[in-house]
Amino acid sequence: MTKIELTPSLNIMRQHEFERFSALIYDEAGIKIPPVKKTMLEARLQKRLKALGMHSFEEYADFVFSLEGQRQEMVHLVDVVTTNKTDFFREPQHFDFLVRQVLPNLRHGREGSALRAPFKIWSAGCSTGEEPYTMAMVLYEYAQAHPGFRFTITASDICTRVLKTAKAAIYPEDRVDTISLAFKQKYLLRSKDKKKGLVRICGELRNQVHFHRINLMDDELGIREPQDVIFCRNVIIYFDKPTQARLMQKFHRRLAPGGFLFLGHSETLNGLDVPFQPVGPTVYRKA
Protein backbone atom coordinates (compact mmCIF):
# COMPACT_ATOMS: atom_id res chain seq x y z
CA MET A 1 0.00 0.00 0.00
CA THR A 2 1.29 3.46 -0.91
CA LYS A 3 1.64 5.76 2.07
CA ILE A 4 0.16 9.23 1.46
CA GLU A 5 1.84 12.14 3.22
CA LEU A 6 -0.60 14.80 4.38
CA THR A 7 0.82 18.30 4.69
CA PRO A 8 -0.57 20.58 7.39
CA SER A 9 -3.47 22.67 6.14
CA LEU A 10 -3.05 26.42 6.00
CA ASN A 11 -6.78 26.71 6.62
CA ILE A 12 -6.83 25.41 10.17
CA MET A 13 -6.16 27.79 13.04
CA ARG A 14 -6.59 26.15 16.40
CA GLN A 15 -8.50 28.01 19.11
CA HIS A 16 -5.49 28.66 21.32
CA GLU A 17 -3.61 30.06 18.29
CA PHE A 18 -6.52 32.36 17.49
CA GLU A 19 -6.56 33.59 21.08
CA ARG A 20 -2.81 34.31 21.00
CA PHE A 21 -3.04 36.18 17.68
CA SER A 22 -6.12 38.19 18.68
CA ALA A 23 -4.54 39.17 22.01
CA LEU A 24 -1.35 40.26 20.24
CA ILE A 25 -3.27 42.33 17.67
CA TYR A 26 -5.26 43.99 20.45
CA ASP A 27 -2.11 44.85 22.39
CA GLU A 28 -0.28 46.12 19.31
CA ALA A 29 -3.02 47.92 17.37
CA GLY A 30 -5.99 48.19 19.75
CA ILE A 31 -8.17 46.18 17.35
CA LYS A 32 -10.62 43.73 18.93
CA ILE A 33 -11.10 40.53 16.94
CA PRO A 34 -14.01 38.55 18.41
CA PRO A 35 -14.32 34.77 17.95
CA VAL A 36 -16.91 35.22 15.19
CA LYS A 37 -14.14 36.72 13.04
CA LYS A 38 -11.80 33.75 13.40
CA THR A 39 -12.31 32.72 9.77
CA MET A 40 -11.52 36.23 8.59
CA LEU A 41 -8.31 36.28 10.61
CA GLU A 42 -7.32 32.88 9.22
CA ALA A 43 -7.79 34.09 5.66
CA ARG A 44 -5.78 37.25 6.19
CA LEU A 45 -2.89 35.60 8.01
CA GLN A 46 -2.60 32.96 5.30
CA LYS A 47 -1.09 35.70 3.14
CA ARG A 48 1.79 36.02 5.59
CA LEU A 49 2.26 32.25 5.86
CA LYS A 50 2.57 31.99 2.09
CA ALA A 51 4.87 35.01 1.86
CA LEU A 52 7.19 33.48 4.48
CA GLY A 53 7.00 29.93 3.10
CA MET A 54 5.46 28.57 6.29
CA HIS A 55 3.14 25.60 6.47
CA SER A 56 1.06 26.08 9.61
CA PHE A 57 -0.27 28.72 11.96
CA GLU A 58 1.74 27.07 14.73
CA GLU A 59 4.97 27.75 12.82
CA TYR A 60 3.88 31.32 12.16
CA ALA A 61 2.98 31.87 15.82
CA ASP A 62 6.40 30.60 16.94
CA PHE A 63 8.00 33.15 14.62
CA VAL A 64 5.73 36.10 15.49
CA PHE A 65 6.28 35.67 19.22
CA SER A 66 10.04 35.33 18.89
CA LEU A 67 12.33 38.35 19.31
CA GLU A 68 13.16 38.28 15.61
CA GLY A 69 9.50 38.06 14.70
CA GLN A 70 8.61 40.98 16.97
CA ARG A 71 11.17 43.11 15.16
CA GLN A 72 10.46 41.98 11.61
CA GLU A 73 6.90 40.74 11.35
CA MET A 74 4.66 42.97 13.46
CA VAL A 75 4.38 45.65 10.77
CA HIS A 76 3.35 43.06 8.18
CA LEU A 77 0.89 41.35 10.53
CA VAL A 78 -0.82 44.66 11.29
CA ASP A 79 -0.89 45.47 7.57
CA VAL A 80 -2.93 42.38 6.70
CA VAL A 81 -5.41 42.62 9.57
CA THR A 82 -6.31 46.31 9.28
CA THR A 83 -9.42 47.28 7.34
CA ASN A 84 -8.96 50.19 4.94
CA LYS A 85 -11.99 51.79 3.32
CA THR A 86 -12.19 55.41 2.33
CA ASP A 87 -13.39 57.78 -0.39
CA PHE A 88 -12.79 61.31 -1.58
CA PHE A 89 -15.25 63.67 0.14
CA ARG A 90 -16.57 60.90 2.35
CA GLU A 91 -19.18 62.31 4.76
CA PRO A 92 -19.14 65.66 2.92
CA GLN A 93 -21.00 67.51 5.68
CA HIS A 94 -17.79 67.41 7.70
CA PHE A 95 -15.92 69.41 5.08
CA ASP A 96 -18.80 71.90 4.92
CA PHE A 97 -18.61 72.26 8.71
CA LEU A 98 -14.84 72.72 8.50
CA VAL A 99 -15.17 75.61 6.03
CA ARG A 100 -18.31 77.27 7.39
CA GLN A 101 -17.79 76.86 11.14
CA VAL A 102 -14.29 75.80 12.14
CA LEU A 103 -12.09 77.98 9.95
CA PRO A 104 -13.99 81.26 10.55
CA ASN A 105 -14.08 80.48 14.27
CA LEU A 106 -10.35 79.89 14.47
CA ARG A 107 -9.57 82.89 12.25
CA HIS A 108 -11.64 85.13 14.52
CA GLY A 109 -9.79 83.78 17.54
CA ARG A 110 -6.45 84.58 15.92
CA GLU A 111 -7.41 87.85 14.34
CA GLY A 112 -4.76 89.77 16.28
CA SER A 113 -1.98 87.50 15.02
CA ALA A 114 -3.24 87.64 11.42
CA LEU A 115 -2.94 83.86 11.34
CA ARG A 116 0.86 84.02 11.21
CA ALA A 117 0.96 80.38 12.31
CA PRO A 118 -0.37 77.95 9.70
CA PHE A 119 -3.60 76.10 10.34
CA LYS A 120 -2.71 72.51 11.31
CA ILE A 121 -4.92 69.53 10.61
CA TRP A 122 -4.25 65.83 11.17
CA SER A 123 -5.87 62.94 9.32
CA ALA A 124 -5.40 60.11 11.84
CA GLY A 125 -6.14 56.87 10.01
CA CYS A 126 -5.71 58.28 6.51
CA SER A 127 -5.75 54.91 4.70
CA THR A 128 -4.89 55.34 0.99
CA GLY A 129 -4.95 59.13 1.17
CA GLU A 130 -8.36 60.17 -0.08
CA GLU A 131 -9.22 62.01 3.15
CA PRO A 132 -6.08 64.19 3.45
CA TYR A 133 -6.15 65.01 -0.26
CA THR A 134 -9.79 66.06 0.12
CA MET A 135 -8.65 68.29 2.99
CA ALA A 136 -5.97 69.72 0.72
CA MET A 137 -8.51 70.63 -1.99
CA VAL A 138 -10.88 72.25 0.49
CA LEU A 139 -8.15 74.19 2.30
CA TYR A 140 -6.46 75.27 -0.93
CA GLU A 141 -9.77 76.74 -2.08
CA TYR A 142 -10.19 78.49 1.26
CA ALA A 143 -6.66 79.90 1.05
CA GLN A 144 -7.35 81.36 -2.38
CA ALA A 145 -10.41 83.14 -1.01
CA HIS A 146 -8.62 84.33 2.15
CA PRO A 147 -5.16 85.77 1.41
CA GLY A 148 -2.65 85.10 4.16
CA PHE A 149 -4.23 81.80 5.20
CA ARG A 150 -1.70 78.96 5.32
CA PHE A 151 -2.11 75.33 6.30
CA THR A 152 -0.25 72.09 6.87
CA ILE A 153 -1.72 68.59 6.73
CA THR A 154 -0.36 65.62 8.64
CA ALA A 155 -1.67 62.22 7.54
CA SER A 156 -0.97 58.98 9.33
CA ASP A 157 -1.87 55.31 9.33
CA ILE A 158 -0.56 52.17 10.97
CA CYS A 159 -0.57 50.25 7.69
CA THR A 160 2.54 50.69 5.53
CA ARG A 161 0.80 49.23 2.47
CA VAL A 162 -1.86 51.96 2.30
CA LEU A 163 0.66 54.70 3.09
CA LYS A 164 2.64 53.68 0.01
CA THR A 165 -0.47 54.20 -2.12
CA ALA A 166 -1.26 57.49 -0.38
CA LYS A 167 2.21 58.90 -1.00
CA ALA A 168 2.08 57.95 -4.69
CA ALA A 169 -1.30 59.76 -4.97
CA ILE A 170 -2.28 57.73 -8.06
CA TYR A 171 -5.86 56.42 -8.27
CA PRO A 172 -8.11 54.63 -10.76
CA GLU A 173 -10.54 57.01 -12.44
CA ASP A 174 -13.55 55.38 -10.80
CA ARG A 175 -12.11 56.26 -7.37
CA VAL A 176 -12.49 59.98 -8.07
CA ASP A 177 -16.17 59.93 -9.04
CA THR A 178 -17.08 61.75 -5.83
CA ILE A 179 -14.88 64.74 -6.76
CA SER A 180 -16.65 67.59 -8.58
CA LEU A 181 -15.78 68.24 -12.20
CA ALA A 182 -14.33 71.65 -11.33
CA PHE A 183 -12.01 70.12 -8.74
CA LYS A 184 -11.04 67.29 -11.12
CA GLN A 185 -10.00 69.81 -13.74
CA LYS A 186 -8.10 71.87 -11.19
CA TYR A 187 -6.42 69.28 -9.00
CA LEU A 188 -6.11 66.01 -10.93
CA LEU A 189 -3.59 64.99 -13.58
CA ARG A 190 -4.64 62.37 -16.11
CA SER A 191 -2.22 59.65 -17.15
CA LYS A 192 -0.64 60.18 -20.57
CA ASP A 193 -1.66 56.62 -21.39
CA LYS A 194 -5.45 56.97 -21.25
CA LYS A 195 -5.89 53.20 -21.47
CA LYS A 196 -4.54 52.90 -17.92
CA GLY A 197 -7.47 54.93 -16.56
CA LEU A 198 -5.36 56.53 -13.84
CA VAL A 199 -5.23 60.03 -12.34
CA ARG A 200 -2.78 61.66 -9.94
CA ILE A 201 -3.22 64.41 -7.39
CA CYS A 202 -1.40 67.54 -8.58
CA GLY A 203 1.94 68.49 -7.07
CA GLU A 204 0.66 71.59 -5.25
CA LEU A 205 -1.62 69.43 -3.13
CA ARG A 206 0.82 66.55 -2.69
CA ASN A 207 3.35 68.98 -1.26
CA GLN A 208 0.87 70.06 1.44
CA VAL A 209 0.39 66.56 2.87
CA HIS A 210 3.03 64.91 5.08
CA PHE A 211 2.57 61.17 5.63
CA HIS A 212 3.79 59.19 8.65
CA ARG A 213 3.33 55.70 10.03
CA ILE A 214 1.78 56.20 13.46
CA ASN A 215 0.35 53.56 15.76
CA LEU A 216 -2.45 55.22 17.74
CA MET A 217 -1.76 52.81 20.59
CA ASP A 218 1.69 54.30 21.19
CA ASP A 219 2.01 56.62 24.17
CA GLU A 220 3.99 59.11 22.09
CA LEU A 221 2.24 59.64 18.78
CA GLY A 222 5.05 61.61 17.20
CA ILE A 223 2.83 64.69 16.75
CA ARG A 224 4.63 67.43 18.63
CA GLU A 225 2.94 70.61 17.44
CA PRO A 226 -0.60 71.32 18.69
CA GLN A 227 -3.20 70.57 16.02
CA ASP A 228 -6.19 72.79 15.29
CA VAL A 229 -8.27 69.91 13.94
CA ILE A 230 -8.02 66.13 14.10
CA PHE A 231 -10.02 63.88 11.79
CA CYS A 232 -10.20 60.33 13.13
CA ARG A 233 -13.17 58.94 11.26
CA ASN A 234 -14.31 55.32 11.13
CA VAL A 235 -11.31 54.21 13.18
CA ILE A 236 -12.48 53.89 16.78
CA ILE A 237 -15.32 51.55 15.79
CA TYR A 238 -12.64 48.82 15.87
CA PHE A 239 -11.65 49.68 19.47
CA ASP A 240 -13.30 48.82 22.76
CA LYS A 241 -14.43 51.57 25.16
CA PRO A 242 -11.29 51.67 27.35
CA THR A 243 -9.08 51.94 24.24
CA GLN A 244 -11.32 54.66 22.80
CA ALA A 245 -11.11 56.65 26.04
CA ARG A 246 -7.29 56.42 26.15
CA LEU A 247 -7.04 57.54 22.54
CA MET A 248 -9.36 60.51 23.11
CA GLN A 249 -7.16 61.65 26.00
CA LYS A 250 -4.15 61.56 23.66
CA PHE A 251 -6.03 63.57 21.04
CA HIS A 252 -7.07 66.07 23.70
CA ARG A 253 -3.43 66.63 24.68
CA ARG A 254 -2.42 67.15 21.05
CA LEU A 255 -5.19 69.59 20.15
CA ALA A 256 -4.62 73.33 20.47
CA PRO A 257 -6.95 75.19 22.86
CA GLY A 258 -10.41 75.19 21.30
CA GLY A 259 -9.38 72.60 18.71
CA PHE A 260 -11.88 70.34 16.95
CA LEU A 261 -12.19 66.55 16.67
CA PHE A 262 -14.14 64.88 13.84
CA LEU A 263 -15.32 61.26 14.19
CA GLY A 264 -17.12 58.96 11.75
CA HIS A 265 -20.89 59.05 11.28
CA SER A 266 -21.43 55.93 13.39
CA GLU A 267 -19.02 56.91 16.16
CA THR A 268 -19.69 58.78 19.38
CA LEU A 269 -18.03 59.90 22.59
CA ASN A 270 -21.20 59.19 24.58
CA GLY A 271 -20.35 57.12 27.63
CA LEU A 272 -16.69 58.12 27.60
CA ASP A 273 -15.35 60.36 30.35
CA VAL A 274 -13.34 62.63 28.07
CA PRO A 275 -13.09 66.46 28.00
CA PHE A 276 -14.80 67.17 24.68
CA GLN A 277 -18.01 69.07 23.96
CA PRO A 278 -20.28 68.17 21.01
CA VAL A 279 -20.66 71.07 18.54
CA GLY A 280 -22.10 69.27 15.52
CA PRO A 281 -22.96 65.80 14.20
CA THR A 282 -19.93 63.71 15.29
CA VAL A 283 -17.91 66.91 15.73
CA TYR A 284 -16.44 67.75 19.12
CA ARG A 285 -14.45 70.62 20.57
CA LYS A 286 -11.69 70.51 23.17
CA ALA A 287 -13.20 71.63 26.47
Largest CA distance in the chain: 91
| Whole-angstrom distance, CA of residue 72 vs CA of residue 56 | 19
Amino acid letter, 41: L
Segment holding 28, helix H or strand E: helix 15-29
Pick the catalytic residue from 157, 228, 233, 254: 157
Residues 3, 47 contacting (CB under 8 angstroms): no
Residue 146, helix vs strand vs coil: coil
The conformation of residue 265, written as its DSSP 8-state character, comes to T
**How far, CA to CA in Å, does 72 sit from each of 48, 53, 117, 173, 177?**
12, 15, 40, 35, 38
**Across the beta sheet with 198-201, what order do the strands follow?**
170-172, 198-201, 188-190
Q: Is 44 a catalytic residue?
A: yes
Residues 6 or more apart in contact with residue 65 via CB below 8 angstroms: 20, 24
| 125 touches 263 (CB < 8 A) | no
Rounded Cα distance, 173 and 196, in Å: 9
Question: Which of 20, 44, 107, 200 is an active site residue?
Answer: 44
Which pairing describes strands 255-263 and 283-286: parallel, antiparallel, or unpaired? antiparallel
CB 231 within 8 A of CB 123: yes
Active-site amino acid positions: 44, 157
